Structure 1
């Protein structure tokens, strides 16, 4: 019997199948092979005298380490406009990590009642040329959620973003039920409490949505020479630089640099250059 893991707690995996949700243990060979079933895995389940067992993990299309979720096709990257203020480097790290994982980023900016029209326009300009979908919402008031509900269709969607951005509130409003506890902003630290307990796939309008624990950073290890391929706004100008294999940094007659401030956001380009040099230094340290 085949199904998808919708939750994993305490060594048990809950697999949604045509026969319903089955509580399963994983085969011991997974541990021997250093494999771990993930929420989102498509699996084969067999019945044994000891109970249902996850017998096979099917090939994954995508895989996230933080949060630990498989086969996600798109991510709602949730940031608050204010309280807490947007950390732009962190925002771009989330997007970059998703691009590296083959997951489509969808940018969701919450608490827009705290922002000006100029601030919203600046965010749109920040991602010019990327083709990313951008939504401005007020999750608590259920304002602007209709397009997000429509875009869930046919996808496995993950919510990610820093603590305090309103991920759990958004999940509750999208699903129509209180799936997870939500935490208030800590006045002393001006950041969100880590209140979401575990990752779990839930069904929303016939699609699957996974809520993730609040966290404040994304870990990724990339080849610096591949970094440029993760910026979709660079793609229209591929091959138009003076030098073949241009890394769009200090090389002369770089087509990408000539587009900065036009079809490429200066902030995105600055983030690219900074990340490129950080990855180069990391590579040097390893060698």
Structure 2
């Protein structure tokens, strides 16, 4: 049976493309998928049969390495997290929340700080530069970009090669503008930021993988759900790389890195190896997870 990847799902049809081929086959799911609770997603590798490009059936969905709920997509390799230097203000708290979700789903994060040209000559520039250096020191790739989308794209081209990429981040920071530049046919709405809310509006309707830079890019600014329902309290520090490399050196295997003695993570904070703001966010997220578990 031929194998391919679902590149679009729309109105009960799945559009499957084989690697290295140009044809896209319109398929339906097998009749017993619903009974077996099999829900094919964009990004899935599948076995299918088709007598022509408009009349095929998906026979089997291969095992996924990850899946996201919003946007509904599977087998994602990397996420470009777009945060603005201003309008809306840069938020390390929200960025760290995104990073935890990305790390927990075994997705490579790439941080993009947009609108850097808007803070040139202001007091905010030094603070943003310090955060950029901090995240780079922690091992993250960080790309400062300007409001000139064409310049930003040049920087991103090599990142997409042989990868499935999603965009995520704050609303109103320029994700849709970047995606429109990647594929002008998308014509994603780039709403002005509400001065009252300080954020833009989500406008995406369905998910499709588009060819770009020898890779595939999801045509949606995703991740509208960022709760910690699928993350256990004892696993949270695994998703902070600077904590994960030290957690094995704590005196207690079950150390929560909050009140226990001889905690290697807290020692890392005291020594400056772990940024205080990152540790504070960890403690905040840990409490949120515990509160969620109590409620459910």
State TM-score, norm by structure 2.
0.88
Name the CA distance, whole Å, in 2 between partners of 1:258 and 1:99: 23
Question: How is 1:56-205 mapped onto 2 (pairs within 5 angstroms)?
Answer: 56-115=60-119, 116-127=124-135, 129-173=137-181, 175=182, 177-185=184-192, 186-205=194-213
Q: Can you give the 5+ residue segments of structure 1 that lack an aligned partner in the other structure? A: none
Name the CA distance, whole Å, in 2 between partners of 1:8 and 1:108: 28
Determine if contact 1:81/1:112 at 8 Å carries over to the other structure: yes
Name the CA distance, whole Å, in 1 between partners of 2:185 and 2:148: 13
Corresponding residue for residue 16 of structure 1: 17
Corresponding residue for residue 229 of structure 1: 238
Q: Can you give the 5+ residue segments of structure 2 that lack an aligned partner in the other structure? A: none
**Residue 68 (structure 1) shift:** 0.9
- Closer, same or farther: CA 180–32 of 1 in aligned 2, 3 Å: farther
- Closer, same or farther: CA 133–26 of 1 in aligned 2, 3 Å: same
Determine if contact 1:224/1:279 at 8 Å carries over to the other structure: yes
- Give structure 1 regions of 4+ aligned residues with deviation exceeding 4 angstroms: 213-217
RMSD across aligned positions (CA): 2.2
Question: How is 1:36-55 mapped onto 2 (pairs within 5 angstroms)?
Answer: 36-47=39-50, 51-55=55-59
Corresponding residue for residue 265 of structure 1: 275
Determine if contact 2:70/2:222 at 8 Å carries over to the other structure: no
* SS of equivalent to 2:56: strand
**Residue 246 (structure 1) shift:** 1.7
Name the count of aligned residue pairs: 285
Name the CA distance, whole Å, in 1 between partners of 2:22 and 2:146: 38
**Residue 171 (structure 1) shift:** 1.6
* SS of equivalent to 1:239: helix
Corresponding residue for residue 5 of structure 2: 4
Moved more, 19-28 or 34-43: 19-28
